Amino acid sequence: DDLPASPKTNIKIEYQQLPETGYPDKINAAFITLARNSDLEKLAPTIRSVEDRFNAKFHYDWVFINDEEFTDEFKKQVRTLCSGSVIFEKIPEEYWSLPTDPSFDKRKAHNNRMKSREKMPYGGSASYRFMCRFFSGFYYRLPAISKYDYIWRVEPETTLHCDVNYDVFKYMSDNDKRYGFTISLYEFPLTIPSLWKTVQEFITLHPKFLNDNNLMDFISFDEGLTFNLCHFWTNFEIIDVNFLKSEAYTAFFDYLDKSYGFFYERWGDAPVHSIAVALFMDKSQVHYFNDIGYFHSPMHNCPIDDEIWTKNHCMCDQKFDSTFKSFSCTGRFYDVQQLEKPLGWEKFTF
Q: Please report, as ranges, the residues that interact with ligand GDP according to CB under 6 A.
A: 34-36, 39, 66-67, 127, 131, 155-156, 235
> Rounded distance, CA 145 to CA 124, Å?
30
| Interacting partner of 329 out of Mn ion, ligand GDP, none (Cβ under 5 to 8 A depending on kind) | none
| Least separation in angstroms between CB 18 and ligand GDP | 24
| Least separation in angstroms between CB 131 and Mn ion | 10
Cβ nearer to Mn ion, comparing 16 with 37: 37
| Least separation in angstroms between CB 67 and ligand GDP | 5
Catalytic residue status for 237: yes
Residue 281 is classified by DSSP as S
Cβ nearer to ligand GDP, comparing 81 with 131: 131
SS3 state at 267 = coil
Q: Are residues 50 and 160 in contact, defined by beta-carbon separation less than 8 angstroms?
A: yes
> Rounded distance, CA 148 to CA 144, Å?
8
Q: For the purposes of burial, counting CB atoms within 10 Å of the CB of 278, is it exposed (0-12), middle (13-18) or buried (19 or more)?
A: buried
Nearest Cα residue to 49 out of 288, 289, 296, 298 = 296
User: How is the chain split among helix, strand and coil, in percent rounded to 5?
Assistant: 40, 15, 45
> Rounded distance, CA 100 to CA 94, Å?
9
Q: Are residues 198 and 206 in contact, defined by beta-carbon separation less than 8 angstroms?
A: no
| Interacting partner of 52 out of ligand GDP, Mn ion, none (Cβ under 5 to 8 A depending on kind) | none
> Rounded distance, CA 199 to CA 307, Å?
41
Q: Does 105 bind Mn ion (CB under 5 A)?
A: no
Stretch that binds Mn ion, among 38-46, 51-59, 116-124, 151-159 (CB under 5 A): 151-159
> Rounded distance, CA 273 to CA 108, Å?
25
Kind plus residue range of the DSSP H or E element containing 82: none
| Interacting partner of 285 out of Mn ion, ligand GDP, none (Cβ under 5 to 8 A depending on kind) | none
Q: Are residues 46 and 154 in contact, defined by beta-carbon separation less than 8 angstroms?
A: yes
**Site for Mn ion (CB under 5 A): how many residues?**
2
| Least separation in angstroms between CB 40 and ligand GDP | 10
Q: Does 155 bind Mn ion (CB under 5 A)?
A: yes
| Interacting partner of 36 out of Mn ion, ligand GDP, none (Cβ under 5 to 8 A depending on kind) | ligand GDP
| Least separation in angstroms between CB 155 and Mn ion | 5
Q: Write down the catalytic residue from 51, 237, 247, 346.
A: 237
| Interacting partner of 67 out of Mn ion, ligand GDP, none (Cβ under 5 to 8 A depending on kind) | ligand GDP
Q: Residues in the site for Mn ion, rule: CB under 5 A? A: 155, 235
> Which residues are annotated as catalytic?
237
